[in-house]
Structure 1
Amino acid sequence: MPPADTAARLAAWLAAHMEHHRLSADEVARELRVGAGQVRAWLAAAGHRPPVAAGEFDHLDTPVKLGAWLRARIADSGLTVRELAASTEHVSMSTVYNWLKGEHLPAPPAADEPDRFDLLLSNPALGLGIHQRVQLDEVRRRLTGTSLHVDDPAAWDARALPAANRSFTGRRAALRRLDRALADRAALVLVTGIGGVGKTALAVQWARSALARATYTDGCLYLDLHGYSAGPPVDADTARLRLLYQLGVDPRRLPSDTEAQAALYQRILADRRVLLVLDNAHGEPQVRPLLPAAPGCLALVTGRGRLTGLDVTSPGLARLDLDALADTEATALLRDLLGRLATKDVPDADVQALADRCGRLPLAIQIAAADYLTHHHPRRTSLADYTADLALGALATGPDDPATAVTPALDHSHRRLSPGAQRAYRLLGLHRAPDFAPAWAASVVAEPLDRARALLSELAQANLLAVDDRGRYAFHDLLREHAAALADRHETAEDRRAAVGRGLDHWRAGGIAATMAAEPGRDPIVVRPLAPGVTPEVFDDYDAAARWIDDELEGLLAGAAHAAEAGFDADVWQFAWTAANVLGDRGQWSRQIELARLSLEASQRAGDTEAIARSHRFVAHPAIRDGRVDEARTHLRSALDLHRADADAAGQAAVLHSLAAIEEHVGDYAAALACAETALAIDRDRGFLGGQGRALNEIGWHLAHLGRAAEAVEPCLQALAVFEKLGDRGGAALTLDTLGYIRHAGGEHDAAIAEYRRANAEFRALGRPFETAGTLDRIGDVHADAGDRAAARAAWGESLALFEELGHAVADEVRAKLEAPE
């Protein structure tokens, strides 16, 4: 038994240690392998109370509960309320009694008057430490509506920041280190460590913390730099463009010079308090140009490499080398994942042994837990036996990360799968789909849909695939890499290429079928024969087709890029045929431009003249919209020459429609009308109704702009009849919009508004914000001409909000109408 003074000193040291590191009695007990009651007894015997555990005051959610807690604390102190008040400056006995009843709890003082609530908490008789007082102050602030914490995540702009990991456990020291870097005014924090150690999870957890949100009030930008992904790392110029888009920069107004783009990026950040999370960085040249120069911003960078070059060039740098979970954290995570029933009789040593065998890496622990729960029963296979059989060899997940402990656990999970699920895992991992449906997976593995569903279910149960509430599946990046590496070892090159081709074929055929169902006025294209094993999807109505396009759009874009990389160049333009218009309708114009250029490059490599001509048209469409008329004309001339050489009447008509749009853009409506009339003649000769409807609508529009509104009505009515016959809702809505313009030009205000509202309702239903905004703008014009300024302003206000959200320059014109004097 140590002397009393020694025990007192040890207790005092332990209390100070726990206070400084924010450790609870339970955490210390686990580290010392004693009971939590023993730790409390040591502290109490020497007159110390255990520091407050995180969340100990969370239950004080009403003033009455806070008062009851305070009453108990005063009773424990041995003082009466009278004695406590007498020994606390500026606090009266009646004030304390009011607080004990849950009444008149004061907000923090706004001026220099004393904070009576904090003065009471500071009374030594209550024995409260600084961290306890801070947490109780936050309780007081929460109850009085003066909290500094941001509780509504929707009010905080977090562009693309992933959701927090629900199984996130521990990392208290790392989170405190990030808090300290914030207090130290660091400009750059590097979080580095091996793959699977939880760098991204930590970064997201801290970025979503109340402290980070309260400090960086202008929000958070997030970008995955793909430093260790299946594809190439994102280069700095592309990364900066993506961040500029997140910051709301209009792609049309971006300077073409990269140095000017860099200056614009820094200028925007200069006036903001922004947290920038750059995830999965590859090297210093990739990161350095993205770092904010503004003193109010912080860059949080994660990567497997240490990026030591940034130590020289980046003042204000703080480092956090993330290691495996601590013993207590790893076992806590494992027990949480396994559940009480599987671990209630399991000794701590056995849980610790499995966590250690998994390298105490969060991802490996999650996979091992899922594998144990899926394939074993605690009564038949103990956790100790499972751990003994778990052979964890060393296999790097990438060329720059040979010291990872994730791949061995994944290999073990793969070996536990049925042969069919093993093959499915390997073949699905060859693709880049962000998420996917069972029907697509069935084509990739060349199995019936029911069989594919069973295989996906097995993979999800083994925690090798995630499944969302829509029934769509997704790989974790590391798991995808692991699956692809296994495919390289276990599948022949011919089988791997066939699996890639089947997945691309499914998207390509499905995209064409869905587009024709959603837009029956489109000129159909011929689909080359599909690979054996592909089961294309069919669509009976617009709604089913529109849902498919919504769900698969990201897959289509990933498929287009993958097709170009994997040597399926001849197919890329068909992906663009499906996705380009959708991107344009939704205002995702930068992606539309990227896809069109990808299609043109792939088509030129393939040497397919039809594909090249169509790709020139894909590139021309956004150029017309953005006012790049010369560029658009050049591409359309190239397309027209190719279509003429191939005697392709459909292609020639399509080019004429685009040329009409160019002439309209430059204000030559007579030339635009001539183009539309020529396109109409071609489409009538070949009997294509969709083209006829489009040309008739264009003719009506151009006639109205030439002051011939009376002549314009009939072609539009003919166009409307064509689109209604075809079931083409988008074409019909565009025609109704034209009719609204014609009625307005003829002075028929009520009729114009009626036509516009019909068009607007359909554009909204079809999810076309650009057309919706344009129709609202024109509705405002009609109201203004009719003398109803209030209704005009309401319509223009809605239009402006949509145009600003899209980042389109037309917003300036609408804003000018709103700001014009009445």
Structure 2
Amino acid sequence: MNPEPRRSGNAIAKLSSWLAVHLSDSGQTVAEVADELGVSEGTVRSWLSGHRPGDEGGGFAHLDTPAKFGAWLRARIADSGCSVRQIAETTENVSRVTIYYWIRGEYLPKPPTGDAPDRFDQLLSNPRLGLSLRERVELDEVRRRLTGTSLSAEKPVADWASRALPADDQAFTGRNQELRRLDRLLREHRRGRSVVVAALTGIGGVGKTALAVHWARSRAAKARFVDGCLYVNLNGYADLPPTDPHQALAGLLEQLGVDPKTVPDDPDALAARYQEALRGTRMLIVLDNAHADPQIRPLIPTEPNCLVLITSRSRLEGLRATHHGTVHLPLDTLPGAEAASLLRGLLGRPTAKDAEADEIAAFADACGRLPLALHIAAANHRTHHSRTTSIGDYARMLTENRLSRLNVGPTDPSTSVAAVFDRSYRHLSIPAQRTYRLLGLHPGLDLSPALATSLTGMSTDDTATALMELTRASLLTRSAEGRYSLHDLLREHATALAERTDSDAERRNAIQRLLDHYTHTACPAAAMIRPSIDELAIPLGEPSPGTVPESLTEREAARAWFQAEHAGMAAAVLRQPEGELDVQVWQSGWALSGFYYVRGHMRDQVVLQLAALGAAERIGDSAAQVHSHRVLAWSYTGLGRFEDSHAHLTQALRLAIATEDRIAQAAAHHGLANLAALQGHHDAALEHSRRFLELSTAQGSRIGVARALNAVGWYHAQLGEYKEAIEYCERALDACQAVDSDLRPHLEAAVSDSLGFIHHRLGRYERARSYYHLALARVREAGSRRGEGEVLSSLGELHLSAGDPDAAREALQQALEILTDIGHTGADDLRRRLADL
């Protein structure tokens, strides 16, 4: 669409209205809209104010002094029917005194340099003043004019010398945040007196060059750098060797109009001639596709009015040491909305118009929202699939084998995502290449340096060096927490390289080290967060050579480790083919069971334990099968699948009896008791609990005795036998004192909950409340979300009985949120209970 308005006032009014709505809906700035439409910001502001270009100031042109501006503001406040005090009280961060300064014309603040609005913007946005978006934009320009910061102060010259700078990508879209950051950098450069160096870094194909060229050709850059732009491709990650700095200097001098015959051969003389040629100029210098810091340093000018914009896959961290003020702008893949917008433009109007929003989003996600991948996939769809394959179907095709599909043809490596990644890979050292390949074998979203050390089998120092090299090459991302992650497409690339380069045995050994690291770290940690695991510990044996498990000594550290690692650990287990590393598979499943139980991840637990049970059966390990059956039963019980739970508990008990494992028998009886109670068979539950107590006592298990005493007391209470119930539960509370202090909170929570229930039934509300609060404190100390939800539910019922419906509603609502989140079967009953209230 050609946005240039017709000469009629009606057309100007329509355009003004359309632009105001567009700015409000899109969230774009005036500068972004102006650049998109190919006109000046002044033109857009004129349209917004309902005037033709050239009508400077629009409806506020008469406000040519701060005093006049202040008088207008005073009148506007009066017209609103509010006092200055009322306006100040309803405007964030703006005081009455500040407004008085403004309306007296004594002080008018300069516009902010960042994206966030300042106090003056917030005042104009106060709805009580009734200013439209169009009026606020126009007043912003008045303020800029009065403070000497008008965006139209500098006009780009008509014959701006772009020299070797590539043409702008006509499909360029998005990158609004990065463009605003570059614009702020430009304003900082205008105020400063030193060279500013900005480095755009990121993985190959992320769009660094496209962004640099687009911004370099923007009106703001042209207005600042009136002497034009220099551009050189340093071939840092091309098939050719990186451009030598002296060769680059010679090329830049030629762009500056220096006769090649007069260019000196001596490196120092060449550098001096370059600096001399730039003296007194205002020029933008784009150094594209840089490889390393030494390649760049000779090309950075000393002329303070010049700005250097660098693109590189390397992070170029050494520049900060030698060039103070260097700004690094790391580029990530496109946000979802920007990726979808770019894809719609690439696909063309007919195709994109017919596609649903979720199909476009799926297409963009299949490309990893990487700009290069989006361009390639869109071109392939337009050329080969637009008439036969829908956008949704093509997105599904892409996910099947992305790297092989994300290329246009064998004759142009620049249009292949894999080829672009290959260039980065080839520039790595041998240890970094091997680390990159093996990292592709890890299926989780991220991993710690310790886990990477076990995966590679190298020393801690060598692994850290390789990780640092990969991070500097933008092949790896390091989070603020110190964890490392690969982009999805890079992971597929690394995995493909591993399959082509590393033997089956080497890849298998790496995965074994990975799983051994998980299990040998998780099993001791599990005993800290769930005490029953301690008495059912499994023999792990020695980890494979090169594995360096982590040693966790604090409960909080153990919880944090599980929270960070459980998803990757489960993914690594479920990824293993049947018959591969079966010992590690079932051990990993067991190691995760305590955390999953405490956190309430029951559906995930079922999937994981079915894999663990299959592995245990394949290796013929009866004890391992007992463990897996019991964990599956816990999970099925929590999900309300009682028949499945009973089948697994019965099988666990049969195997435990066959192997004469009393601890496992006791645990199976405890599970059967809980299951029977949930089905309303409290007599059967009591008998199973008595058997649980006998076996635990015979085995000398302090934890088992405490839990069994509580269970027997609980089921007496369910049968209305409160005297016996209190006797057993008080014995259980005493037995808790004999348990290691680190494990005690879990047990005391369960017993206190039982005593709270009993005293509630006896009408002793204060004693019941005291026990429930103790139970709540203990489950929170233990980190059990399931336990917290169950205790809160019981506490809510107590509040109802005590005649406090508000407290009951609050406790039940908290319980519902927790149990819903973990998928607990009791959530539906709670929801109905709250509805009744």
Asked whether the two chains share a fold, i.e. TM above 0.5, the reply is: yes
Shift of 1:173: 6.0
Q: How far apart, in 2, do the equivalents of 1:635 and 1:756 lie? A: 32
Q: What's 2:785 paired with?
A: 769
Structure 1 residue 51 and structure 2 residue 44: aligned? yes
Per-residue CA deviation, residues 275-332 of structure 1 (Å, 9 max, x unaligned), is xxxxxxxxxxxxxxxxxxxxxxxxxxxxxxxxxxxxxxxxxxxxxxxx9969854524
Per-residue CA deviation, residues 64-95 of structure 1 (Å, 9 max, x unaligned), is xx9xx99x99755699769xxxxxxxxxxx99
Shift of 1:444: 1.0
TM superposition score normalised by structure 2: 0.57
SS at 1:655 equivalent: helix
Shift of 1:31: 12
Q: 1:331–1:352: 8 Å Cα contact kept in structure 2?
A: no
Structure 1 residue 620 and structure 2 residue 658: aligned? no
Q: How far apart, in 2, do the equivalents of 1:78 and 1:175 lie? A: 33
Distance 1:435 1:78, change over 3 A: closer
Q: How far apart, in 1, do the equivalents of 2:550 and 2:450 lie? A: 8
Q: What's 1:471 paired with?
A: 482
Q: How far apart, in 1, do the equivalents of 2:594 and 2:657 lie? A: 24
Q: What's 1:377 paired with?
A: 296
Please tell me the residue identity of whatever aligns with 2:464: R
Q: How far apart, in 2, do the equivalents of 1:817 and 1:732 lie? A: 28
SS at 2:232 equivalent: helix
SS at 1:399 equivalent: helix
Q: What's 2:758 paired with?
A: 742
- Residue in structure 2 matching 1:810, options 823, 826, 829: 826
- Residue in structure 2 matching 1:331, options 203, 213, 221: 213
Per-residue CA deviation, residues 401-448 of structure 1 (Å, 9 max, x unaligned), is 343533333223223223222221111211112111111111111123
Structure 1 residue 512 and structure 2 residue 523: aligned? yes
Q: How far apart, in 2, do the equivalents of 1:714 and 1:26 lie? A: 74
Shift of 1:98: 4.4
Q: How far apart, in 1, do the equivalents of 2:771 and 2:660 lie? A: 39
Q: What's 2:232 paired with?
A: 350
Shift of 1:601: 3.1
Q: 1:569–1:603: 8 Å Cα contact kept in structure 2?
A: yes
Q: How far apart, in 2, do the equivalents of 1:148 and 1:537 lie? A: 60
Q: 1:564–1:572: 8 Å Cα contact kept in structure 2?
A: no
Q: 1:434–1:555: 8 Å Cα contact kept in structure 2?
A: yes
- Residue in structure 1 matching 2:675, options 649, 655, 662: 662
Shift of 1:97: 7.5
Aligned residues: 568
Q: What's 2:556 paired with?
A: 543
Q: What's 2:436 paired with?
A: 425
- Residue in structure 2 matching 1:641, options 654, 675, 687: 654
Q: 1:354–1:384: 8 Å Cα contact kept in structure 2?
A: no
Q: What's 2:421 paired with?
A: 410
Per-residue CA deviation, residues 568-593 of structure 1 (Å, 9 max, x unaligned), is 22322222223234334333332222
Please tell me the residue identity of whatever aligns with 1:751: R
Q: What's 2:127 paired with?
A: 144
SS at 2:500 equivalent: helix
Q: How far apart, in 1, do the equivalents of 2:475 and 2:770 lie? A: 54
Distance 1:460 1:666, change over 3 A: same
Task: Structure 1 unaligned segments of length 5 or more: list them.
Answer: 1-7, 41-47, 58-65, 83-93, 108-137, 150-169, 177-200, 206-322, 359-367
Q: What's 2:404 paired with?
A: 399
Q: What's 1:784 paired with?
A: 800
Q: 1:460–1:466: 8 Å Cα contact kept in structure 2?
A: yes
Distance 1:564 1:369, change over 3 A: farther
Larger radius of gyration: 2
Q: 1:435–1:473: 8 Å Cα contact kept in structure 2?
A: yes
Distance 1:432 1:539, change over 3 A: same
Structure 1 residue 456 and structure 2 residue 467: aligned? yes
Per-residue CA deviation, residues 651-678 of structure 1 (Å, 9 max, x unaligned), is 2222111111111111222211221221
Distance 1:609 1:747, change over 3 A: same
Distance 1:99 1:374, change over 3 A: same
SS at 2:404 equivalent: coil
Q: What's 2:732 paired with?
A: 716
Q: How far apart, in 2, do the equivalents of 1:652 and 1:369 lie? A: 69
Q: How far apart, in 2, do the equivalents of 1:147 and 1:503 lie? A: 62
Q: 2:454–2:514: 8 Å Cα contact kept in structure 1?
A: yes
Please tell me the residue identity of whatever aligns with 1:372: H
Q: What's 2:621 paired with?
A: 608
Q: How far apart, in 1, do the equivalents of 2:79 and 2:608 lie? A: 60
Per-residue CA deviation, residues 455-494 of structure 1 (Å, 9 max, x unaligned), is 2222212211111111111111111122222222332221
Q: 2:234–2:289: 8 Å Cα contact kept in structure 1?
A: no
Shift of 1:757: 0.8
Distance 1:398 1:633, change over 3 A: same
SS at 2:575 equivalent: helix
Q: What's 1:129 paired with?
A: none
Q: How far apart, in 2, do the equivalents of 1:458 and 1:708 lie? A: 69
Q: What's 2:601 paired with?
A: 588
Shift of 1:808: 4.2
Distance 1:374 1:556, change over 3 A: farther
Q: What's 2:663 paired with?
A: 650
Shift of 1:99: 6.0
Distance 1:481 1:626, change over 3 A: closer
- Residue in structure 2 matching 1:684, options 686, 691, 697: 697
- Residue in structure 2 matching 1:103, options 66, 74, 77: 77
Q: 2:440–2:491: 8 Å Cα contact kept in structure 1?
A: yes
Q: Which moved more, 1:682-691 or 1:754-763?
A: 682-691
Counting only pairs closer than 5 Å after superposition, residues 49-448 of structure 1 correspond to structure 2 as 50-51=43-44, 76=57, 98=72, 103=77, 142-144=125-127, 329=211, 331-332=213-214, 347-350=229-232, 372-373=291-292, 376-379=295-298, 398-403=403-408, 404-448=415-459
Per-residue CA deviation, residues 230-250 of structure 1 (Å, 9 max, x unaligned), is xxxxxxxxxxxxxxxxxxxxx
Structure 1 residue 572 and structure 2 residue 591: aligned? no
Q: How far apart, in 2, do the equivalents of 1:670 and 1:371 lie? A: 77
Shift of 1:753: 1.2
Q: How far apart, in 2, do the equivalents of 1:470 and 1:690 lie? A: 36
Q: What's 1:529 paired with?
A: 542
Distance 1:506 1:148, change over 3 A: farther
Distance 1:333 1:468, change over 3 A: farther
- Residue in structure 1 matching 2:645, options 632, 641, 645: 632
Q: Which moved more, 1:438-447 or 1:709-718?
A: 709-718
Please tell me the residue identity of whatever aligns with 2:680: G
SS at 1:617 equivalent: helix
Q: What's 1:130 paired with?
A: none
Please tell me the residue identity of whatever aligns with 1:738: S
RMSD in angstroms over aligned alpha carbons?
Answer: 5.4
Please tell me the residue identity of whatever aligns with 2:642: V
Q: What's 2:749 paired with?
A: 733
Per-residue CA deviation, residues 18-63 of structure 1 (Å, 9 max, x unaligned), is x99999999999999xxx9xx86xxxxxxx963359xx99xxxxxx
Shift of 1:334: 9.8
Task: Structure 2 unaligned segments of length 5 or more: list them.
Answer: 1-6, 82-120, 134-167, 179-204, 241-286, 302-307, 315-371, 377-400, 409-414
Q: What's 2:686 paired with?
A: 673
Q: How far apart, in 2, do the equivalents of 1:466 and 1:544 lie? A: 24
Q: How far apart, in 1, do the equivalents of 2:732 and 2:423 lie? A: 66
SS at 1:441 equivalent: helix
Q: 1:334–1:355: 8 Å Cα contact kept in structure 2?
A: no
Per-residue CA deviation, residues 91-143 of structure 1 (Å, 9 max, x unaligned), is xxx99974696536889xxxxxxxxxxxxxxxxxxxxxxxxxxxxxx999954
SS at 1:433 equivalent: coil
